[in-house]
Homo-oligomer: A and B are copies of this chain.
Amino acid sequence: MKISVVSNILEANDRIAAENKALFDERGIYAVNIMSSPGAGKTSLVEKTVEALGDRFRIAVIEGDIQDTCDAERVARLGIPVVQINTGGACHIDGNMVRGALSSLDLDGVRLLIVENVGNLVCPAEFKLGEHAKVMLLSTPEGADKPAKYPLMFQESSVLLINKTDLLPYVDFDMAKARRDALAINRNLRIFEISCKNAEGLEGWYGWLSGEIESTRKR
């Protein structure tokens, strides 16, 4: 009984996510769903990405949080359209929440939509939003055992950003093991080692994302 209810919820979500994606494709918008543990640096990544690519592409952002609007306020300071989803307790955002948020966003000319999910390394990986790619952050203080312990998110993601490399001298993080275990789960995963704090290593991420946005225009 419980399983069938969950399965119905996921099916209904898939349908709404497909509608969101059709809307994005029609408008030439590339959508990414950014996921990680709490405090791994999602909002800092959004800020850096908007600063780096905002002159080239019009960008809009959807911020997902259980409550609170502090992330949306951070992003709004960059002068781009941003909407806050408050899930009211739910541990992830879903297709329907994104659909609701889209109605409050001016999508005119937008080429990149960034959706920042609730900080959670488990549940968000199960819910499609209509995104073209899932992107996850793993921060070095979390440890290199995370791929083995939370495999679904590594499996579902197209890109793994290993953030907070500036802390490598002070934490026990086995970079080789993290990369090896992540690739064992998903051999197509693109991995970039970055520090949002020091703005290091981000060129690869900007290059990959720009390429994806450009290829969306050509469809």
A interface, CB within 8 angstroms of B:
2, 5, 9, 37-39, 65-68, 70, 89, 91, 118-123, 139, 141-143, 145-146, 148-152, 164, 166-167, 170-171
Q: Can you list 13 A-B contacts (CB < 8 A)? A: A38-B149, A39-B143, A66-B149, A66-B151, A67-B148, A91-B123, A119-B121, A120-B120, A120-B121, A120-B123, A141-B164, A167-B167, A170-B170
Assembled-state Cα–Cα distance A151/B39 (Å): 15
Least CB distance from A14 to B in Å reads 16
A9 to B9, CA, bound (A): 16
Q: Which B residues lie within 8 Å of A123 (CB)?
A: 91, 120, 122-123
Give this chain's copy count.
Answer: 2
**Which residues of B have CB within 8 Å of A149?**
38, 65-68, 70, 119
Q: Which residue of B lies closest to A146 (CB)?
A: B38
Q: Which of B5, B38, B142, B146 contacts A5 (CB 8 A)?
A: B5
